[in-house]
Amino acid sequence: MIALTAEPLALEPLIAAVRDDAHGAIVTFLGVTRATSNGDPRPVAALDYEAYPAMAQAELEAIAEEARQRFGPLRIAMLHRTGRVALGEPSVAIAVGTPHRPQAFAACAFAIDALKARVEIWKNECYADGASAWQPNAEAAP
């Protein structure tokens, strides 16, 4: 389960997707929209995500494969929202299952860090006063 989706995110389907009788650990990550951006006092009402679907999907799958090579054996699920995500709602969900917990924690951290640096998704911060601004990640590749 690796995809972009315009639907609200929940962790349960990702947990179910990575469950495996050989695995003793499942680590999950949920990224949710925050009330303010780094160094910007303006209250955020929502985030609006757009993606280049073909490249974003390929990059998500490449990250999953890299996670497998570095930390596997593992099962990984990654979903990222497109469209408008209200304050406090999840924009990204990741689940990783491994035989033992250190690999699950490490692979989950690797996956979200790589996603923020590499995947062709863009975020428009919509402020409570009606203004908006495209905000790149600090980790974005130059």
Partner 1 sequence: MEVRVLAFARLRELFGFGERRVACANGATLEDLWRDLARDDTEVAALRASTRFARNGALATATTVLADGDEVAFLPPVGGG
Are 101 and 46 in contact, with CB atoms under 8 Å apart? no
Q: Does 56 bind partner 1 (CB under 8 A)?
A: yes
Beta-strand (E) ranges in the chain? 2-5, 25-32, 44-51, 75-81, 83-86, 90-98, 121-127, 132-134
For partner 1, the binding residue among 44, 51, 63, 107 (CB under 8 A) is: 51
For partner 1, the binding residue among 23, 27, 74, 80 (CB under 8 A) is: 80
Q: Does 58 bind partner 1 (CB under 8 A)?
A: yes
Contact letters (x/-) for partner 1, 59-78, by CB under 8 A?
--------------------
What is the distance between the alpha carbons of residues 120 and 57, in angstroms, rounded to a whole number? 9
Dihedral angle of Cα 138, 41, 45, 77, to the nearest 10 degrees: 30
Q: At 25, phi and psi to the nearest 5?
A: -140, 135
* 23 versus 49: smaller Cβ distance to partner 1: 49
Q: At 84, phi and psi to the nearest 5?
A: -85, 130
Q: Does 116 bind partner 1 (CB under 8 A)?
A: yes
Are 40 and 128 in contact, with CB atoms under 8 Å apart? no
Q: Considering only 5-13, 46-54, 66-74, 97-105, which stretch makes contact with partner 1 by CB under 8 A? A: 46-54
* 23 versus 115: smaller Cβ distance to partner 1: 115
Question: In the structure encoding, which two tokens stand for residue 140, read together?
Answer: 């974005």
What are the beta bridge partners of residue 17? none
Contact letters (x/-) for partner 1, 15-34, by CB under 8 A?
----------------x---
Q: Does 118 bind partner 1 (CB under 8 A)?
A: yes
Q: Which residues form the interface with partner 1 (CB under 8 A)?
A: 31, 49-52, 54-56, 58, 80, 91-92, 112, 115-124, 134-137, 140-142
